[in-house]
Amino acid sequence: MSHLLKHYMVNRDNGQYIIDTLHGYVYPKLPELEIVHTLSKDNGVLYCLSTCADVLEYTITVSADELVNYQNNSNITITSTIERTIEVPVVDNQTLDPTGEVVTQTVYDLVYTEPYVVPETEGEGLQVITQQEWDDVISEFDNRQQEKRYDILRDIRDKILEITDWMVIRDFEQQEAVSTEFKIWRQALRDLPNSIEFPSSFPTLPTELETHTEIQELYSKFDEVRGVSMINDPLPPLPKLEELRLPR
């Protein structure tokens, strides 16, 4: 298991968490920190969903007396103890100079684990969160990003409808019927993006507009929505480069 964290970057000069600037930051130094998602606020300030170790492992060499203290420490778990002997130089008690003699001493190479307590901050800087809170942060971010995508689609949609308004007016003035295909297409555009699933493309162009240069150019702008990142992206992934290559 690992700690689940929501945190901001830290000031590279003083190590303080920063929640209001776009510059001069680095990742915090936490044991086994893994950045899972890097998100951004509306003002561009970055924050992260990350994991870090909840248990740390240490290796230390101790004396017999020190070993007892570690064994009696309920906060740690000893995973390995290896006994060995070493030769220790004898020093003169008055001059602290080596006497040239050595004594044999028993020591223990100890491996143990200890829970890591995250140093949380007041406010938003660094927080340990639950799985539900983690999921809520992702959901809130994705909802906000999806609205940005919708704004892009609506803007393009409105331009396309505006371009084709004159066709409807022309047919009306000439008392000609607008084709069913054209009507269905225009209605599908108006419905964007208020559908059950996020649209993966604009509706198929009616036959009479398949060679319309300006509308084709606007249709090509659909991929701009991918520039607005989402963690749980409803759009299918783009094909990989090797999948686009023609077979030899």
pLDDT in tens, 46-92: 999 999 999 999 999 999 999 999 999 999 999 999 999 999 888 87
C-alpha distances out from residue 218 to 148, 154, 205, 213, Å: 18, 12, 12, 9
Average pLDDT of 196-206?
A: 86
Beta strands at 77-91 and 46-53: parallel, antiparallel or unpaired: unpaired
Q: How many residues does the chain have?
A: 248
How many helical (H) and strand (E) elements, i.e. helices and strands, does the chain have? 5, 9
**Largest CA-CA distance found in the chain, in angstroms, rounded:** 118
The answer, yes or no, to whether residue 244 has pLDDT greater than 50, is no
Question: 110 with 60: CB under 8 angstroms?
Answer: yes
Q: What pLDDT sits at residue 247?
A: 47
Whole-number pLDDT of residue 193: 78
Cβ burial of 144 (10 Å; 0-12, 13-18, 19+) is middle
Highest mean pLDDT among 88-92, 112-116, 219-223, 230-234: 112-116
pLDDT of amino acid 195: 64
d(CA 71, CA 63): 12
Judged against a pLDDT cut of 50, whether residue 248 lies above it is answered with no
Q: What is the pLDDT of residues 138-190, one digit of tens each?
A: 999 999 999 999 999 999 999 999 998 887 776 566 667 778 888 899 899 99
Q: pTM for the whole thing?
A: 0.79
Average confidence score pLDDT of the chain: 89
Cis peptide before 119 (omega within 30 of 0): no
pLDDT at site 50:
98
